[in-house]
Structure 1
Amino acid sequence: MEETIPGTGTPHIPQQRGTSPLEAAVRYAEERHWDVFPGTWLEAVDGVQRCSCGEPTCAVPGAHPACEDWATRATGSATVARRMWQQRPTASVLLPTGRTFDAIEVPETAGFLALARMERMELSLGPVTLAPDRRMRFFVLPGAAVKVPGLVRRLGWSPRSLDLTALGEGAYVAAPPTRFGTRGAVQWVCRPTPANRWLPDVEELVPPLAYACGRDR
């Protein structure tokens, strides 16, 4: 668990040193055995940072798949990842879910509330990201996406009533140092370490996450 801001229980996100997309992608494949694939990138157009997809109103500029067959292009080979990013060094770093991990996505405020509660419960966490879209993603064991609706109902909530989403097969998450246009970069709230190589079961995290989302409505 990351250090917290004294007196608040809110995790403190340390200043994270700059890492190139190539370095990050290779490390994720080599050290974590995560599949990776390059997404879109940012281009300067008339002095303005635009998404390489060419859509002026792109919702996540520089942080989404660049082609429809992204799932088949994803690789767990550090050598192949290096070659991919050498061709496009500024491409975003995207990780497909439903393979080595799933992700539970919640709003930022609910995520920090849940993290404080998890710390008090002494729960073990996997990696957790915070993106400029103010969404937090908790990495859990694969298979979580099919379990979450039932787990939420058992806690007395309707899945539709909570802003809690499970990302599994066919989805992806953006990983640091991917940037969302001018809004900033994805950060690790709980960074990948040898201590969290073994991911938690979704059953452990859904109760505090659902509680936090219910409080955050």
Structure 2
Amino acid sequence: MSAEFGGPIGLRGRLARWLRGSGPTQTADAGGREALLLAAAGAGLPLAPAAHPAADYRCSCDRVGCPTPARHPVSFAWQTQSTTDRAQIERWARHQPQANFITATGMTHDVLDVPLEAGREALDRLLGAGVEVGPVAESDDGRLLFFTLTRGTPEDEDEWWPCELDCHPETMDEHPGLRWHCRGSYVLVPPARLPGDDGRSVHWLRGPEHPLPDPLSLLETLTDACARHVEAFGL
């Protein structure tokens, strides 16, 4: 699932530079933003345009009191709209220069979404044990996102095995610990801006050039870290 981005002066080189330079307080310029989005799509993550922050912590959408400002798709048809097509993503990025982007989960990939401190602990343990960890994004609202292969989309719906960790956009508040984003869900994909005047963002810790792992290879370590996090903070 790892994408090939060409020679060192092509997209791969630009991606590497922006991954080194991007961080919680730095936003990629137009060229860097587009390179990061194309890299994500090239790695098989289907993208669709999302809302972006507006003044006074508001959302760019026209919904009064938007409950998830700058964190939701623009279109209600985001599941069918999501694509990895390079030309379409270039058009979106250039015509909507302020837009965030979401990636629809459950098509080619899932996301294991955990509290930041638990995620950092788990990431250190996984890397220390030599486990293949794929792309990891950090969200400055206190979450770490582990991108994995999907559990699959069987043609026979009876073959689908539900999980009590499954998370959908409307159930986010019900999953303060580990959230498993699969079919019918989405997450913001870097680079994305969050509301506020402090430059908060969603940014890569490990970029989409890392192959997507089997989610079960990460799950035990993540759930253990989340359990310790809940116990330590009395959540």
Shared fold, TM over 0.5: yes
Deviation, 1:206, is 0.8
Structure 1 83/14 Cα, relative in aligned 2: closer, same or farther at 3 Å? closer
Deviation, 1:18, is 4.0
Give the fraction of aligned pairs with identical amino acids, expressed as a percent.
29
**Structure 1: stretches of 5+ with no match in the other structure:** 1-12, 152-159
> Equivalent residues in 2 for 1:202-213 (5 A)?
202-213=215-226
**Residue 77 of structure 2 corresponds to residue 61 of structure 1:** no
Deviation, 1:55, is 4.1
> Equivalent residues in 2 for 1:9-48 (5 A)?
15-16=21-22, 18-19=27-28, 20=30, 21-29=33-41, 31-44=42-55, 48=56
The equivalent residue for 1:157 is: none
The residue identity in structure 1 corresponding to 2:114 is V
**Residue 99 of structure 2 corresponds to residue 85 of structure 1:** no
CA distance in 1, matches of 2:92, 2:106: 22
Give a deviation string over 1:18-70, Cα, whole Å, max 9, x none: 433434323322x31321110112334xxx35311134643432221112111
CA distance in 1, matches of 2:98, 2:131: 36
Give a deviation string over 1:149-173, Cα, whole Å, max 9, x none: 489xxxxxxxx99811110111111
The 10-residue stretch of structure 1 (60-69 or 165-174) with the greater mean CA deviation from structure 2: 60-69
Contact 1:148–1:206, Cα closer than 8 Å, also in 2: no
Contact 1:141–1:200, Cα closer than 8 Å, also in 2: yes
The 10-residue stretch of structure 1 (54-63 or 173-182) with the greater mean CA deviation from structure 2: 54-63
CA distance in 1, matches of 2:188, 2:218: 21
Deviation, 1:15, is 4.5
Structure 1 55/77 Cα, relative in aligned 2: closer, same or farther at 3 Å? same
Deviation, 1:192, is 2.0
The equivalent residue for 1:188 is: 204
The residue identity in structure 2 corresponding to 1:180 is L
The 10-residue stretch of structure 1 (179-188 or 94-103) with the greater mean CA deviation from structure 2: 179-188
CA distance in 2, matches of 1:116, 1:99: 28
The residue identity in structure 2 corresponding to 1:70 is W
CA distance in 2, matches of 1:161, 1:97: 17
Contact 2:37–2:191, Cα closer than 8 Å, also in 1: no
**Correspondent of 2:186 among 157, 160, 172:** 172
Q: Normalising by the residue count of structure 1, what TM-score does the alignment of the two structures yield?
A: 0.77
CA distance in 2, matches of 1:39, 1:174: 8
CA distance in 2, matches of 1:148, 1:180: 31
The residue identity in structure 1 corresponding to 2:207 is R
Structure 1 140/25 Cα, relative in aligned 2: closer, same or farther at 3 Å? same
Give a deviation string over 1:58-116, Cα, whole Å, max 9, x none: 34322211121111111110101111222211111111111121011110011011111
**Residue 228 of structure 2 corresponds to residue 215 of structure 1:** yes
**Structure 2: stretches of 5+ with no match in the other structure:** 1-18, 154-159, 166-173, 231-235
The residue identity in structure 2 corresponding to 1:105 is D
RMSD (Å), alpha carbons: 2.7
Contact 1:148–1:166, Cα closer than 8 Å, also in 2: no
**How many correspondences in the alignment?**
190
The equivalent residue for 2:119 is: 111
